[in-house]
Every structure is written in structure tokens, then in C-alpha cells.
Structure 1
Amino acid sequence: MKTYHTTILVVEDDLNDQFLIEKAFRAIGVSSPIHVMRDGAEAIAYMCGEGQYADRDKYAYPTFITTDLKMPRVDGFGVLKFLKDNPEWRIIPAVVLSGSCDLDDIKKSYMLGASSYHVKPHKMDELQLQLKILNDYWLTCEVPQVDETGKQLPTDSKGKMGERFSPPPTPDSEPHR
């Protein structure tokens, strides 16, 4: 059963691109909260719940992230590295939306765990189409359960595949034949 508590985190330093990305999401019918961060440092503070972002009712955990690459303080690579280095964040879809079509940027983004890499289109209708395809795709995916703030709920692997990693049975616990 799919239950979505979607919050989108947009990491973008260019004010025009911030406006256009948010406008494009709204134009394709996304009504979920969209929080825009000016750079990677602010995005990481948001994800960690630091300062003003400690209020998870107002600043819910993101369930989808778009990040630019070239930004001041902490760039998009820093955001991807943070996500990759922190298991609780590693599963959040993180899409690079950059003006760069440099092959090294693309490769490094995927090496750091980007879910996909897209060059920002120059036309609004192309941006809307790009974001609609991404949004529709992620809405069809199964996702871990989250609470109303978007925080992941713990799971129990007992009786599932994880059980095979349990310690071997002792002679006393083996079934009688």
C-alpha cells in the first residue's frame, strides 16, 4: 500500500532557476510542499534539522531532491556525498538538474549516488515536461514507509530474507526428526 507524504527539496543558487523550477512543479500539478535551498550547506542543514529546520511539521523530511551542481559554499557534489555517506538519507531520490553537460560532472554525480542527471532545458515547456516525467516516475515507485513528517519508519526483517543471516541453530534448538 502506497502512502505518500511528499516534500520536495530544491537545491539551487540561481534565483531565476529557483523560481522557474518551483513554477514548473506547480504547473504540472504538484501540490506538495517545495522547499528551496540556496546552496548545499543550507540543504544539509535542512536535512539534519538544524536551526530553523528543526521544526519537522514545517520542514518535513524531503522525499525527493533536485540539486544543481555549481553553487557557493557546498556544491551539488557535496549534497550527493552527504546523501551517500548517511544511510538514512541514501535512499532519497536525488536528481541532478544542472546547466553542465560536462562528462566528468555527469560521471562524478552518478558515482556519488545521483538517481539521475538532467541538463536544465532552456524553455519552460521543456522543463515542465522533464519534471513531469521525473515526478510521475517516482510516484509509481514503491518507497519505504514514512511518518507524517516524512521520516522513515523502521522495518523488521524477521521472517524475511534477512533471517538467513541469523546465527545458526544450536543442537538444542534444531527440530526433532
Structure 2
Amino acid sequence: MLVKRKREIISLGMDEIRPAEFTGPHISPKEFKQMLDDGDEVVVLDARNDYETRVGMFDGAVELDIASFREFPEAIGDLPDEYRSKTVVMYCTGGIRCEKASAVMLKAGFDDVRQLEGGILGYFEECGGTHWNGDCFVFDQRVALDHQLEETEIVMCFKCREPLSADEQESEQYVIGQHCPYCYGA
């Protein structure tokens, strides 16, 4: 086994953000589901990268269209001003990125930022797939899980590492081990 020591688990590049000292409060998956069931006026914010959001998202979630978590602080600056005074419930795969992301948003002047405890995977475990569309990208050999936490048919392109749906795998631009619709011709 290889163990690497890193300065940051999830790299943000902002030393002043210390989740152990300051972060947004957590809400349980059941509380979050109830908010969605009731149609509460909240901003649901996806804190993940664009290749992850293409695989699946919560109903009505705001997507930041970021390629890397380091882009998060700049991306929230582009959100509509009215979000600053609303309740924002953010989520990521397992909750780790939201520890930092919620602190960044609070520091940037958002009034009420909460994070989904356990992230998407915790939600699937407690609430199933209600209010979710698609699958959940994971950072291991499984690539993506469905709402029952079962591995899906999604694969990663060998060349560009983009996740590919079953439909994308049928594309003429997808050749196993060579290229996919995202990197074909690049």
C-alpha cells in the first residue's frame, strides 16, 4: 500500500479556510428531503465539478460549472446577489468538500449556508433516490453509483478521464483505450 502525505485533502488554495474552526451547519438527509418534499424556498447548490454534475444532480440544483474545486471561490461570486440572503443547502459526493465550501460562502457574505450531512451518498443511504436525477460519480474504480449504492454502467475514458454514460459509449467517437466524444480529435 502506498500512503502519501498531503497538505490539503481537498485542495482549495485558501489557507485561511479551516473547517475544523469554522464551517456551515449540517442538515441531515431526512431534513433535506423534507425541505424538498415541502417545496421550501432554498437554493440547492451542487459543489462538485462539472464532470460529476453531468452524471447526476438533485432536482433544481444550481450547477457552478467548475472543472476543479479550486474554481469554487470565484464561481460563487458569479451567483445571483439574491442568493446571499436565502438559505443555501449545498451538497457534494460525501460531504468533505462542503466543509470547506460552506466556510468559503459564509466568509464571502452568504447569510445562511448549510451542508448536507454525508453528502449524496449519505442521502442515498437514508432517503434513496427521491429528488435525484441520474447517478453519483465516485472517485474509485466503480466510477458511479445509483441511488441504491450499486455500481452503474458508467465508465471513464482512458485518455481524458471523463465519465461516459452507456449512450456515450455507443458513440462512434468512443474507442476503448483511445478516445471518447469529449477528447476525440484533441
* TM-score above 0.5, yes or no: no
Write 1 or 2 for the structure with the bigger share of strand.
2
Using the size of structure 1 for normalisation, the TM-score is 0.33
Using the size of structure 2 for normalisation, the TM-score is 0.32
Instruction: Kindly name which structure, 1 or 2, has the bigger radius of gyration based on alpha carbons.
Output: 1
